[in-house]
A and B are shown apart, each in its own frame.
Chain A
Amino acid sequence: METILELRDVSKTYTEGGSEVKAVDAVSLSLLKGEVLLLMGPSGSGKTTLLSMMGCILRPSSGGITVDGTEVNRLEEKALPDVRKRYFGFVFQSFNLFPSLTAVENIELVLRMKGFAGKSPRPEALGLLDKVGLGDRAYFFPGDLSGGQKQRIAFARALVGDPPILLADEPTANLDSKRGNEVLDLLRKRAKEQGRAVVIVSHDPKAEAVADRVIFLEDGRIRV
């Protein structure tokens, strides 16, 4: 399978109050198209830091990152938003939907942000909601929806622009086991049916069932 994202010897050191914390320590890995990669590890082991660097939200202290053949390290800071826009979809632990926008408007917002060119983004946004089985909740505000529904909306939002990589940080942590399974199922289908790469950070044992590959982090290093 083809590599879409590659980390080479990536490290991240935080300085806080004079002392240095090596949150990620010399991690190398390749992410393949169509695979589900699960990052596991105890709290504080560097999972979120690693995911942020993969998503070009955080710059590594050292090491190299390549996204679809582009050396991200060489890019200027102001070029990074465009890389994120083009290559990544994000799903967060606490959903991060705009409370003042309805379900369909939350998706429209990202369509607009990504430069939607047609007459109205509404039909496309409704189409994405249908895909996650929430077509009938299009005009609900997030505050009136359950956690599982919110996470499915967030998932639909992450599909805008059909990005090749989906990054999910603890996507099931705020959901009960049934809703969690639904979301994991969507993530797995994204990899298997659309051939996109999916990275999941999770403590959730259920996530192991959908993963092709599991990487354990401990003190910022990959445990072998």
Chain B
Amino acid sequence: MFWLAWKTLYHEKGRFLVTIVGITFSAILVLTEVGIYLGMMRSATDIIRHSDADIWIASKNIQSFDFANAFPESRKNRVGSLTDVLWAEPLVLTWGFLKLADGGQEQVQIVGFNPDKGIGGPWSMIAGSPSDVKGGRYMILDRTSEQRLGSLKQGSIWELSQSRFRLVGVSQDIRSFTTAPVLFMSYAQAQDLPIGWIKPGLTSYILAKLKDKTKKNDVAASLRTLLKDNDVMTSEEFVMRTVKYWTIQTGIGMSFFLTAVLGLIIGGAIVGQTIYANTVQHMKEYGTLKAMGAKNEDIYKAIFSQALINAAAGYALGTAVMALMRPSIEAAGVPLYLSPLLISVVFIIIGMSCIFSAYFSVRKIKTLDPVMVFRG
């Protein structure tokens, strides 16, 4: 019956083509929205996921990685004193303004890490090394910021919040959710910046690594009783909290999600409409098949096959277009996350929405009485 589906679709080439183009657009819409959403969520949690820490200690009621209040760094010692803790390191997160060559300025997300350990620092470098920020006003910027900041020449001097910093290294593909350039410097320099709420003696985070990873829920629980004025999270919890903040609290992620759903609905509606038109057009022939002994299921197969043929052809074209468009989307500074798994999952979802949309046609076949073939 797959054969019949193919023949009846192919016979109406114009309609078939329009449907495929419709699914192609729907696939592009869904893949772009989901890809950008996942790309942004990965950016938002990049530093957490690459930090190698099992536990994050933050100010009370923190919502996302990007907005942290300061608290005394001395609490690091209490964390480190637990026998299960292998190490504890502070990490500063703050914001500043970077002056550009053309006189303008850009807000940047500043990460201050311990250059002796590298914890919370950049993990992928194309020039210099993370430890180069040690011992002075040195900074690392990311290659993806070049579009916003201009050429990132190693050794160049920049003005950051009224201090002069030397660019000692360039990292690769480290982005923030807010799209503000990520700037790395030493923990001590970050505390020293004449801006914001971070001052010497204060930190934004304490990161802890455990001797035994499997104990992290227990250790987090005991740290919670120890540090009543802080939020203590496993790194997974912190990732989830950050994702939830950007998705639900701010509604930013949700708008991507809703557009993706809209894309699915449009795709489903186009396929449903085509199949329905095709079914109505062939009612008499399907009735004839039923009279000749075809079972409902035989005809359902033909209808569902039509849905799948449309979905597969449109989706294949959609992913091909995405593959072509991807470099220019990424060049525009938008992180786009596409993996074989994601592409398969989205295909299954689009396929299901197409199959679901065939429901009205199937219902028409179910109630089709073959007696009709002898009438009119």
Residues in chain A within 8 A of chain B (CB atoms): 48, 51-52, 55, 57-58, 78, 81-86, 88-90, 92-94, 96-101, 105, 109-110, 112-114, 169
Contacts and interface: CB of A to CB of B under 8 A. Distances in A.
25 contacts: A57-B371, A78-B295, A82-B293, A84-B291, A85-B294, A90-B291, A90-B292, A92-B373, A92-B374, A94-B284, A96-B288, A96-B373, A97-B285, A98-B282, A98-B285, A99-B285, A100-B10, A100-B11, A100-B282, A101-B8, A101-B11, A112-B4, A113-B294, A113-B298, A114-B293
A99 B291 contact: no
Nearest to A89: B292
A101 B7 contact: yes
Nearest to A82: B293
Contacts of B3: 112
Interface in B2-18: 3-4, 7-8, 10-12
A57 B291 contact: yes
Contacts of B290: 81
A109 B290 CA distance: 12
Contact of A96 (B8, B12, B284, B295): B284
A105 to B, nearest CB: 6
A100 B12 contact: yes
Interface string B238-273: 000000000000000000000000000000000000
Contacts of B11: 99-101
Contact of B285 (A52, A93, A96): A96
B374 A86 contact: no
A86 B293 CA distance: 8
Contacts of A81: 290, 293-295
Interface string B1-38: 10110011011100000000000000000000000000
B370 interface: yes
Interface string B308-323: 0000000000000000
Residue among A97, A101, A105 with the highest chain B CB neighbour number at 10 A: A101
B375 interface: yes
From DSSP, what is the main secondary structure of chain B's interface residues? helix
A57 B370 contact: yes
Nearest to B12: A100
Contacts of A84: 291-293
A195 B260 CA distance: 64
A109 B292 CA distance: 11
B7 A113 contact: no
B8 A100 contact: yes
A48 B292 contact: no
A92 B295 contact: no
Contacts of B12: 100
Given A97-B285, A100-B12, A109-B4, A169 B293 contact: no
A100 to B, nearest CB: 3
Question: Interface residue tally of chain B, by bracket?
Answer: 20 to 34
B180 interface: no
B292 A85 contact: yes
B289 interface: yes
Given A81-B290, A85-B294, A113-B293, 6 more contacts: A48-B374, A85-B293, A88-B292, A96-B284, A98-B7, A98-B8
Interface string B347-361: 000000000000000
Nearest to B375: A48
A57 B287 CA distance: 11
Given A57-B370, A100-B12, A105 B294 contact: no
A58 B371 contact: yes
A55 B371 CA distance: 10
Residue among A82, A86, A93, A113 with the highest chain B CB neighbour number at 10 A: A113
A116 B269 CA distance: 35
Nearest to B294: A113
A75 to B, nearest CB: 13
A204 B3 CA distance: 38
A85 B374 CA distance: 17
Contacts of A83: 293
Contacts of B1: 112
B374 A169 contact: yes
Nearest to B282: A98
A168 to B, nearest CB: 11
B291 A55 contact: yes
A101 B8 CA distance: 7
A105 B8 CA distance: 11
Contacts of B376: 94
Contacts of A89: 292
B371 A92 contact: no
A78 B293 CA distance: 10
B289 A113 contact: yes
Contacts of A101: 4, 7-8, 11
A114 B3 CA distance: 14
Contact of A90 (B8, B288, B375): B288
B371 A52 contact: yes
Contacts of B298: 113
Contacts of B374: 48, 51-52, 57, 92-93, 169
